[in-house]
Structure 1
């Protein structure tokens, strides 16, 4: 690619100063900000979009995946609080229409957004929407200012502790942190554009395996071009709505703007083909209409920022526990084939879990940075287990608690005693 020479040199207004700055308002950023603010700290949250919730909002992700052990939620307290608050935005008929094991975790993007904002505002978090991360300033190994781009140009926010909740580790990478990316071939898990259909006659829908058989027949005939091996769909509260998590875009780099653009186009091409296939070949979908389509494609995996600790598939297999464990995970290894068809699923039994140690969210080399979200210090395989929203909420609340404690103790996050952090999280209500 040809290069141009461009040097940006201008004064940037300092828009705000705060104790803790969280960048990204997805589940990890939400829980980090709320935890630190409820601890009494001054917290600002900067978000690229105009509303919080991350992929539960703009990605149309529903339902949230399960992370339970012996029937008990592993991600207390903020994750179930968020779910419960979402229910206040549902209609009474929708609440009454409970008909599957997923109902408790089935969400509306709008409910997820509004409930998240309720929690943030009630906690006293200062919200900076339409703030896209642009750059940062470092002095003596510490981030002093984070620079954002928006409609008013560039603006900076100064903070004592910075939490990267971008999902892609954008802040950490810019700060010089080391990271891993993808599998051994350099491919990340595929991207997916979620969508919902309405006007579906659920009483006439065939069983899952029959829909998949019809899909595979359509694929073989060339009517659908999608690498996924089956049709992944979930029921919805609304009596005529079905959610689809079934498009698949492989071998595209989620950190490359052109690849992302191409992935969006490919995914919507697949969506059109699925809509035609379902209407013409699957009973119950003859009158189906688009209910909603994600505002952006869903990214399962990108950077994994290396931390003071690193865990992987061995820790999953041995159900590893740690004195400074900050989150517990029972969700399976769930690797959607980065190169094509197939999904690698490896389950724990219902009474087993592994723990994520504090060091996995503490990148060395940047003294005031923490990671909250899917991009923590784990390998490609384990990432497929901890990347889903419930454990990400637990990771976020741990990052928020660590940031608050670091401010209180006037120390670097890496200097915190992980066992003490764990104890504070338990006092906060965490299932540890």
Structure 2
């Protein structure tokens, strides 16, 4: 893993989250000179920095459908941390029981090893500023601590999660009028849940919502949000309505709103009997964003495509997760499991912005409607998309081709050789 940036690259990957780091590792493993740019101090994105340390789903109906680079790192990190894997053959469990619990610190270190061993040039604490197409290459300006740095690339892979590169390059990104809420991952402790007077706590909660000291979306938990919150220590239970991340201003608003919600909840519970010793055991430094922008792709994945298990002719990876729409108005979660036997696929055309040359997207900003996006946005699916994008970009750059000139069969064959599982296997 190099930290000395060269001038010219075959592939530049922007964003080191669940899609980005596998894309960079895959590109470099194929011999392409690759740069990975990440704004945070650790790779892994949502899994490591935002605290959603339950990547999935890699298996469908008891059978593995997503493998390759991302899966290898997750499995490796779980083994090193002494965390047992779920029983994937028990596929009739609730979907969240088949996600893989990981230690974020260990996973971040394992990802570092994968990136280093592949020979990826890595810049952390770096954001891209501008991107311009000049002749047959992309010129990218990066904002590093030492100032602005310019590099060029034959191919760009946008794994920002918000289609930031796509937008700065002048292509369209789409946003729904109402977006799903974000979540600040927090773990509360210091109490005995079984000893609490839950009816009294429910009444106190209702009074707090009525007088405005708590907001209705602060505790996301269905018919009895207090019981659900305390049972889980508050993990994945704080909704931040309107949270999105397409600009620094939007991101700032989401972070501040998340911490304000955390403190409202902290103050409220510490005033209740049995909860005076409540503590915040851990918190994520970033608000987790469920939904922001998607690209205007050559194809658009609809809910009907996803729930039918449509096998696109240019499908490069599988996705497996229920439709999981968190109501933008804070009225609960719409979870719709897939019909037995259905395994959706992700087409390359949904990863290519309309009108773009040698620019491919992987991760949650791949083209799709809100319902489909609520499912394929999850970490395992993003890892599979990222590896596929890495193959496509490396093959295009090394042979002076456009992304779409690289045949689907060639990409699939290479993915298989690299340990991935592709539609049709």
TM-score of the superposed pair, with normalisation by structure 1: 0.84
- The answer to whether structure 1 residue 414 and structure 2 residue 414 are counterparts is no
Residue equivalent to 2:121: 126
Cα deviation, 1:336-382, whole Å, max 9, x if unaligned, reads 11233222221103532111111111223221111121101111211
1:180 aligns with 2:170: no
Report if aligned partners of 1:190, 1:299 keep a CA contact under 8 Å in 2.
yes
Distance 1:295 1:45 in 2: 22
Query: Structure 1 residues 97, 372: CA separation in 2 closer, same or farther (over 3 Å shift)?
Result: closer
* Match status 1:378 vs 2:368: yes
**Shift in Å, 1:404:** 1.5
1:43 aligns with 2:34: yes
More deviation in 254-263 or 349-358?
A: 254-263
Q: 2:59 aligns with which of 68, 74, 82?
A: 68
Kept after mapping to 2: 8 A contact 1:332/1:345: yes
Q: Is the 8 A contact 1:313 1:379 kept in 2?
A: yes
Secondary structure at the aligned position of 1:79 is classed as helix
Q: Please give the alpha-carbon distance, in whole angstroms, between the structure 2 residues aligned to 1:54 and 1:280.
A: 35
- Correspondence for 1:294: 284
Q: Distance in 2 between matches of 1:213 and 1:349?
A: 39
Structure 1 gap segments, 5+ residues each? 1-13
Question: Structure 2 residue aligned with 1:346, among 309, 312, 336?
Answer: 336
Q: What is the root-mean-square deviation of aligned Cα atoms in Å?
A: 3.3
Counterpart among 132, 135, 146 of residue 140 in structure 2:
146
Q: 1:270 aligns with which of 261, 277, 298?
A: 261
Does residue 113 of the first structure (1) align with residue 81 of the second (2)?
A: no
CA distance in 2, matches of 1:65, 1:417: 29
Separation in 1, partners of 2:191, 2:392: 47
Shift of 1:180: 1.4
Between the aligned partners of 2:128 and 2:134, the Cα distance in structure 1 is 19
The alignment partner of 2:32 has SS state of coil
Pairing 1:196-211 to 2, within 5 Å after superposition: 196-199=187-190, 201=192
C-alpha contact (below 8 Å) 2:182/2:240 kept by paired residues? yes
Q: Find out whether 1:329 has 2:319 as its counterpart.
A: yes
Q: CA deviation at 1:22?
A: 0.6
Give the length in aligned residue pairs: 407
1:19 maps to which of 3, 10, 14: 10
Distance in 2 (CA, whole Å) between partners of 1:345 and 1:424 is 35
Q: Is residue 159 of structure 2 the alignment partner of residue 165 of structure 1?
A: yes
Residue 318 to residue 168, structure 1, CA distance change in 2 (3 Å): same
Unaligned runs of 5+ residues in structure 2 are 88-93
Distance 1:232 1:425, change over 3 A: farther
Q: TM-score with structure 2 length normalisation?
A: 0.85
Is this contact kept in 1: 2:318–2:346, CA < 8 A?
yes
**Alpha carbons 1:164, 1:172 under 8 Å: kept:** yes
How do 1:396-411 and structure 2 match up within 5 A?
396-411=386-401
- Per the alignment, do residues 262 and 21 of structure 1 end up closer, same or farther by CA in structure 2, a change over 3 Å counting? closer
- C-alpha contact 2:57 2:98 (8 A) present in aligned 1: no
Which residue number corresponds to residue 7 of structure 1?
none
Separation in 1, partners of 2:343, 2:197? 35
Does the 8 A contact of 1:28 with 1:395 survive in 2?
Answer: yes
What residue is the counterpart of 1:10 in the other structure? none
1:224-239 mapped onto 2 (5 Å cutoff): 224-227=214-217, 229-230=220-221, 231=225
**Matched residues in 1 for 2:140 and 2:197: separation?**
52
Contact 2:56 2:98 in 1 (8 A): no
TM-superposed deviation, 1:410? 2.1
SS of 2:51's partner is coil
CA distance in 1, matches of 2:39, 2:339: 39
CA distance in 2 between partners of 1:359 and 1:304 (Å): 13
Cα distance, 1:216 vs structure 2: 5.9
Structure 2 residue 127 is matched with structure 1 residue 136: no
Q: Look up the match of 1:8.
A: none
**Residues 218-229 of structure 1 aligned to structure 2 (within 5 Å):** 219=209, 222-227=212-217, 229=220
Out of 406, 417, 424, the residue aligned to residue 427 of structure 1 is: 417
> Deviation digits for residues 302-334 of structure 1, max 9, x if unmatched?
111122222211202322112321121220111
